[in-house]
Amino acid sequence: MPVLPVTTVRTSWPLSNQRLLFQLNADQIALQRQYDQLSTGKRVLRLSDDPAAASRAMGLHRGIDRATQLTRNAASSLNFYQSTDSSLAQVDKALIEARAVTIESAQNVVSDDERAAFATTIDETINTVFSSGNAMYRDHQLLGGFLNSQDAFSRIDNKILYHGAEAIARTDLGGGETNAINLNANQALGAMSVFYEGEQLNAAVNADTRLVDMRNGDGITPGLMRVSGGGDWYDLDLTAATTMGDVVTLISGTDVDGRTLAASLTTDGIRVEYADGLGGTLALADAAGSEMADQLTILNPAGMNPPPLIGSGLSPAVTEQTRIADLDSGGGIDISDGLQIIQDDDVFTVDLAAAETVSDVLIAINRSGADIRAELKGTEGRIQLRSMKSGSNYSVGENGGSAATALGIRTATESTALSDLGSGQGIALNPDSAEISIIRPDGVQLDLNLEGATTVGDVIMLIRDHPLNQDTARVLVGLNEFGNGLQLTAPPNTEPLTVRGVGSSNAGLRLGWIGEDGADNVGSVIGPVDTIIGGDFNSRDAGGTLDTLLRLRQAVTVGDIPEITRLQATLDIDLDRASRARGRVGVWSRNAQQLSEVSETRLISMKSQLSDEIDADIATVVSDMSQRQLALEASMRLIGKTSQMTVLNFL
């Protein structure tokens, strides 16, 4: 703390006073700064106090704010995880109790009172799962979609409708990627299960097909290709292409050794040749770093293959924007008749006459009024159907045309396996006799032995190829024109067309020709033929935990042992799903706890560094303040002395 020296040379009074006042002002400012440090505990109060330290402090402040927010995120997530774990624990416990009841109720000798008690226990299980599915934390559904503040499940008669969402919230816990906060009801309870996954649809290439959709979704990367007619190489810059139409445009018109290239699209690729249609040499290669020619399968670097160069097998992925006219590899499909969705006893007709794209089809199905949701599965080009009402049976059939079959979503077809009938229970065969008898109107009996048959189509062929069914009075068989099922027709005669079960086989029941009572199915004359319209032979369960429990309660009540046995296996799947979901939440919780501890440790470290940068050392401040006060007092005394001097003091 220097004090300006008293001048010993002859100087003007104004200059001397200015020097002394400057010293006094500097002492007062320094003393005030030390007072500020003492009162605030901060050494750096503004950027000018220590620019380097202030810059480091601002960076530390940002880090502290982030670490603080990450700690808050972790605390909130841990609370959500704890609530979810509590709900899933109740589901696990309830399903374990239901499984025990299932095993006991599968016995042959169970009294009506015992069955009623078992059904009551399953009712309690249903209530527990239902409540857990609607559980909330801070106005957010634990399982029914994070943004959904309403109940995800509601009861309608003896069924349960799911109208929640699949929204998964994510948060930053500092692990380098966002972390999921919640599960949805599909992951935990199997709600909105896929009850049918359609056949893969195939689309043709057109000018609007995006490169990213080519090769069944693997895409084609735009790049630089090189082309030669046997002499010099020319560059083809296709980096700006986004559609197959762009590729054709950029290639067509290119001059190669005086000849013009022409490109065109095929149903599953591209064709490159000379515009004059003549042969010659046409070499095509990728420039360094490019794979476009290879991906288009028109790579011909040595020119060994003569033009045209045809790239094939590049079928684009089916997306919601794919036109109906481009399906079936460009041949288009006829869906003008629409289709039927059968839910329990209700039939919903879906009008597809105005549908132009796959998206139009999905929207029409979702607006049909049925409790289902149709969506396109990834890049596989399959329409999958999800159920929304537990306890319901679903199927999709025709409405007089072939729309459901063309879209790959008809649930009962000739390729349906016999082992899948009866919700997977299959067909019971007689040990030494036929399983079904069909009596024609003329009295000829067709006995069908299904030994060796594996699909519904095999059953159809047994009828068509039966040696007693080769005349003009033969029975014709095929899939129903409306809905699902197998239809039998024959010329009318003295007796009605009849289907009869044989022995203990349930083949007639499983194929939809005979009812639960086992009585003969007698046809009636419709128009010029005697007709039997069979019922749906491959309806699908809604799927999911609640659906299993609702069906189990019914099976236990009536003592349906085969159904109870089937549902026992399904219940094991539901229990495994819930347990795995709970385990996933446990992993998330542990990860959040670890990341929280890391954030807290980092927060403490950064606060310590910040203190080192900007906090004042109180002992040092007090010591400096004492010295500064002495310097200020000295400056004031010096000013007092010098202000009393006369000219005689300098002589």
If one compares 122 and 31, the residue with the highest pLDDT of the two is 122
pLDDT at 376: 94
If one compares 34 and 5, the residue with the highest pLDDT of the two is 34
pLDDT digits (tens, 9 = 90+) for 12-28: 666 766 777 777 777 77
Q: Is the pLDDT of residue 298 over 80?
A: yes
Burial zone of 39 (CB within 10 Å; 0-12 exposed, 13-18 middle, 19+ buried): exposed
Candidates 263, 251, 267, 262; CA nearest to 206 is: 267
Candidates 416, 384, 374; CA nearest to 511 is: 416
Q: At what angle do helices 561-614 and 545-558 cross, to 10 degrees?
A: 150
CA angle 279–284–287, rounded 5-degree value: 165
If one compares 148 and 291, the residue with the highest pLDDT of the two is 291
**Can you say whether the dihedral through the CA atoms of 563, 568, 572, 577 is positive or negative?**
positive
pLDDT digits (tens, 9 = 90+) for 275-294: 998 988 999 999 999 999 99
Distance (Å) of CA 427 to CA 35, 414, 512, 555: 95, 16, 12, 19
Nearest-angstrom CA–CA distance, 175 and 522: 69
If one compares 515 and 32, the residue with the highest pLDDT of the two is 515
Q: Which residues pair with 178 in a beta bridge?
A: 172
Q: Are 241 and 290 in contact (CB under 8 A)?
A: no
Q: Is the pLDDT of residue 168 over 70?
A: yes
Q: Which of 107-111, 214-218, 628-632 has the highest mean pLDDT?
A: 214-218
The full DSSP string for 418-437 is: GGGHHHHT--PPPSSS-SEE
Q: Are 534 and 485 in contact (CB under 8 A)?
A: yes
Token duo for residue 46 = 């503004």
Cβ-based neighbours of 109, under 8 Å, separated by 6 or more: none
pLDDT digits (tens, 9 = 90+) for 92-116: 999 999 999 999 888 877 888 888 9
Amino acid at 2: P
pLDDT at 108: 73
Candidates 267, 541, 266, 217; CA nearest to 382 is: 217
pLDDT band at 646 (very low <50, low <70, confident <90, very high): low
pLDDT at 313: 87
pLDDT at 223: 94
Q: Which residues pair with 487 in a beta bridge?
A: 478, 533
pLDDT digits (tens, 9 = 90+) for 547-558: 999 999 999 999
The full DSSP string for 320-339 is: TT-BGGGBTTTT----TT-E
* CA atoms within a 13 Å half-sphere pointing along the CA-CB vector of 212: 2
| Longest pairwise C-alpha distance within the chain | 159
pTM score, whole prediction? 0.82
pLDDT band at 539 (very low <50, low <70, confident <90, very high): very high
Nearest-angstrom CA–CA distance, 463 and 414: 13
pLDDT at 481: 94
Nearest-angstrom CA–CA distance, 332 and 338: 15
Candidates 388, 399, 278; CA nearest to 335 is: 399
Domains, the chain, with CATH or none: 64-193+546-599 (1.20.1330.10), 211-311 (no CATH), 324-406 (no CATH), 424-538 (no CATH)
What rounded mean pLDDT belongs to the chain?
89
3-class DSSP state for residue 14?
Answer: helix
Candidates 184, 201, 123; CA nearest to 386 is: 184
Strands 498-501 and 524-526, how do they pair? unpaired
pLDDT digits (tens, 9 = 90+) for 261-277: 999 999 889 999 999 98
Location of structure tokens 């609530």: 83
Candidates 215, 252, 238, 253; CA nearest to 286 is: 238
Q: Are 521 and 507 in contact (CB under 8 A)?
A: no
Candidates 480, 213, 194, 471; CA nearest to 326 is: 213
Nearest-angstrom CA–CA distance, 128 and 147: 23
pLDDT band at 39 (very low <50, low <70, confident <90, very high): confident
250 sits in the region (left: phi over 0; alpha: psi -120 to 50; else beta) called alpha
pLDDT digits (tens, 9 = 90+) for 345-395: 999 999 999 999 999 999 999 999 999 999 999 878 899 999 999 999 999
- Among the residue ranges 43-47, 577-581, 637-641, the one predicted with the least confidence is 637-641
Nearest-angstrom CA–CA distance, 486 and 459: 10
pLDDT digits (tens, 9 = 90+) for 423-464: 888 999 998 899 999 999 999 999 999 999 999 999 999 999
Amino acid at 619: A
Strands 486-490 and 521-522, how do they pair? unpaired
